[in-house]
Amino acid sequence: MIAIIGLGYVGLPLGIQFANRGQRVMGIDVDTAKVESIRRGESYIRHIASETLYDQVASGRLTATTDMAKVAHCEAVVICVPTPLSKNREPDISFILKTGEGIAPHLRPGMLVVLESTTYPGTTDEALREVLEAGSGLRAGEDFHLAFSPEREDPGNPNSQVAKIPKVVGGLTPACMTRAKELYLRAVDGVIPVSSCRVAEATKLLENIFRSVNIALVNELKVVYEAMGIDIWEVIEAAKTKPFGFMPFYPGPGLGGHCIPIDPFYLTWKAREYGQATRFIELAGEINTAMPKHVVTRVAEALNTDRKPLNGSRVLLVGLAYKANVDDDRESPSYVLMDLLREAGAEIAYHDPFVPVIRKNREHPHYAGMTSVPWEEAHVRGFDAALIVTAHACVDYRQLVDWSELVIDTRNATAGLRGRARVVKA
């Protein structure tokens, strides 16, 4: 049996995939609501169909519990817990360490422990290894196997299938890597072995730093071209016709999710230990985190053109999730925009069919319980401006431009649409 600890956007799809390939999986999570939902075969993640989950639960291949002691009955343990940043933008690996402390008393010789949580190089073979060895009395690489394999989930992308995405695997020893490779080949079609846990950890960081830096580039160019009267979206569409040497990235109102806004700073923090500067990462962070302020400035300018001050205006944010077609609002730039708009005196509301009620979150608990306004003409017409933050495919943007006086579009969702509204890109 395989234990998967952490049943969120990474752990649950992985558990389902192992079960789908005939493996017995025990999901473990501290959240009793998630455990009970799995036991009923009801998915709490929008892009995972309840039917898919129910099939594996009904077969008996997938079970769930809050009892960490159950790992003693498993041959392998995969850790998929959060790795946030602290308020000082320092890595918080406390969830990893607490999970390791919970596993340690139940480790047996021959077991495999794999970390999937994104983190800085050295976490697996130093920090996690230390708590596992201290709590078990066993030696990693001798008595039990230890490895790192970064998650590569892309929620909301129909082409992102766990089975089809190669798994990078690095082990503490060659034997650890071989054991982890054998495990993942039971669930996925391809495994990419690397020489160490640190190389695997660094691989994940490179993937996300690459995206962060390129998104920052187009965000900066958006502002530059805007000043020149040039539409960055038209420029990107033209540039991506080149069949070599170019990969399109798109601007937005700020970064969101649990990867791009956070992961690059894990390397920045660790690099300082070696006396190294990460100037590209830090500059990209500065540019991307400045985008919400730029958007609010554009909202204020657009309202001013209509002889309306931002102070006292009613603004509807269209889309709350951090990316299109998902219900995940972690680190969403929408919350930063809401804060900035409120500080400027605007009255705010939001519409998001995937987030009907805002759940309590660590950074913006003051919005907990706020509900999505109905998508009805009478409601939309009551706002001075509509601000498109997340471009869900199910939202009718033609209706939005027909119902609104002013639309500020950060996602190019209204491209080619004409209606009652004046549309401003931001």
8 A C-beta contact, residue 359 and residue 368: yes
Rg value, the chain, Cα: 23
The dihedrals phi and psi of 112, each to the nearest 5 degrees, come to -115, 135
In sequence order, the β-bridge partners of residue 409 are 388, 425
Going by C-beta distance under 8 Å and a sequence separation of 6 or more, which residues neighbour residue 161? none
Q: Which is nearest to 272 in space by CA: 48, 406, 89?
A: 89
Cite the active site residues: 259
Q: How far apart are CA 189 and CA 165, in angstroms?
A: 8
The dihedrals phi and psi of 404, each to the nearest 5 degrees, come to -100, 160
8 A C-beta contact, residue 208 and residue 260: yes
8 A C-beta contact, residue 144 and residue 171: no
Going by C-beta distance under 8 Å and a sequence separation of 6 or more, which residues neighbour residue 215? 249, 250, 251, 252, 255, 260, 284, 288
Q: How many helices (H) and strands (E) does the chain have?
A: 13, 13
The dihedrals phi and psi of 109, each to the nearest 5 degrees, come to -55, 135
DSSP calls for 195-243: S-HHHHHHHHHHHHHHHHHHHHHHHHHHHHHHHTT--HHHHHHHHTTSS
User: Token digits for 263?
Assistant: 């992961």
